[in-house]
Amino acid sequence: MPFDLILRGGRVIDPSQKLDAVTDVAFAGGKVAAVGGALKADPGTEVRDVSQLIVTPGLIDLHTHVYWGGTSLGIDAEEFCRLSGVTTAVDTGSAGPGNFAGFRKHVIEPSEVRILAYLHVSHAGIFGFSHRIMVGESEELRLMNPIEAAKVADANRDVIVGIKVRVGLHSSGTSGVVPLDIALEVANEVGMPLMAHIDHPPPSYEEVLARLRPGDVLTHAFRPFPNTPATAQGTVKKAVLDARERGVLFDIGHGKGSFAFKTARAMLANGFYPDTISSDIHQLCIDGPAFDQVTTMSKFLCMGMELSDVIAASTVNAAMALRRPELGSLKPGCVGDATLISVKQGQFDYEDVVGEHLIGNRKIVSEGVVIGGRWWHPN
């Protein structure tokens, strides 16, 4: 099969293959067709010189809110992905069983960008989240809808990757772990992983972790005090280490209130890296402090993570969390998505959710996107 597109001469960093080399990447029929030097172009092949750029598998943002128009926190997925190099946006609970059909028909299906979703166990998902209204959907247990959630998840397995629940004082009030237990019942019923949000207690970080199963995701994992994974002495809590040993995955989910440099420094100093880096992008943080996926990745690069580890946390690791191994890799036969980035040198001001600033010397910038084997530029 002739190649549709060749990215010529870029630095290819693909952690799924432990690959870091200057080489070509070719696409055909919507998939990665070949990786190697001096790949031959056919008369109809589009060839792009990317010799000044880094080529990675298409970035996966494991935590977004892209039900634009259906919820007040939703942002436009295509606009966001063009600017931040994301080829797969994973919506985490914006919609529940009561309104998922609209999310699918009006947002997911028309989108050129791949949108996958964790279905909220609450009937209408995250419906009361705006600049003026903040109502925790998990606080009202009458909104928990496990029977319909299981039906909707089962009927939409092509795009639903798991079950979402939000627990903590701001999202579940004094209901504690009850919404989490209900969500776990649904996840068990449909055989899917669960993503749990955590904010202020109750419940405690330890109570939530104790319930999570191998493959489940704790998002907002590096959140500030209270309910931080680090001790006051700067060590990692035993419950956190035990959960990782058990196979629980730790996701960043930066957002408006869920990432602190102090926590991240402590965790990284102990060698505890996040499994996945995600932005938790929504209307209340797209203009800061999260901004986008590449800015969130840049923060970890500036705190000492290797570039290859930062890329892994936004590609192959996220694909494994989604149980979609065809994503997050440039292996021939995988989905033909790629992200073009550069790493700028300079002085860059980064801010976390508690107002601490970090002046970093590097910034990851999105320079272009390939979706389904076709060039899909950022502007």
* Model pLDDT, residue 379: 46
Q: Are 177 and 167 in contact (CB under 8 A)?
A: yes
Name which of 48, 299, 353, 377 is nearest 170 in CA terms.
353
Beta strands in 29-110 (DSSP E): 31-36, 46-49, 54-57, 59-64, 86-92
Is 277 in contact with 245 (CB distance < 8 Å)?
A: no
Quote the pLDDT of residue 377.
Answer: 67
Q: Dump pLDDT digits (tens) for 280-294.
A: 999 999 999 999 999
The per-residue pLDDT for range 117-152, each reduced to its tens digit, is 999 999 999 999 999 999 999 999 999 999 999 999
Torsion sign across C-alpha atoms 81, 86, 88, 92:
negative
- Cα angle 59, 65, 255 (rounded to 5 degrees) comes to 80
Over 70: is that where the pLDDT of 378 sits?
no
Q: At what angle do helices 146-155 and 178-190 cross, to 10 degrees?
A: 30
Dist. CA 4–CA 9, nearest whole Å? 16
Contact 16, 41 (CB under 8 A): no
Exposed e or buried b per residue across 165-199, where buried means at least 16 C-beta atoms within 10 angstroms of its C-beta: bbbbbbbbbebbbebbebbbbbbebbebbbbbbbb
Strand partners, 35: 25
Pairing type for strands 134-135 and 54-57 reads unpaired
Tens of pLDDT along 289-335? 999 999 999 999 999 999 999 999 999 999 999 999 999 999 999 99
Write down the pTM of the prediction. 0.98
Please state the rounded mean pLDDT for residues 79-105: 96
Protein fold of 59-322 = TIM Barrel (3.20.20)
Average pLDDT, the chain: 97
How many Å apart are CA 207 and CA 221, to the nearest integer?
A: 14
**Domain extent listing, the chain:** 5-56+333-375, 59-322
Tokens 């109809």 identify what position?
A: 44
Same fold, 5-56+333-375 and 59-322: no
Q: Which CATH superfamily is domain 5-56+333-375 in?
A: Urease, subunit C, domain 1 (2.30.40.10)
194 CB contacts (<8 Å, ≥6 apart)?
162, 163, 164, 165, 183, 184, 187, 212, 213, 216, 217
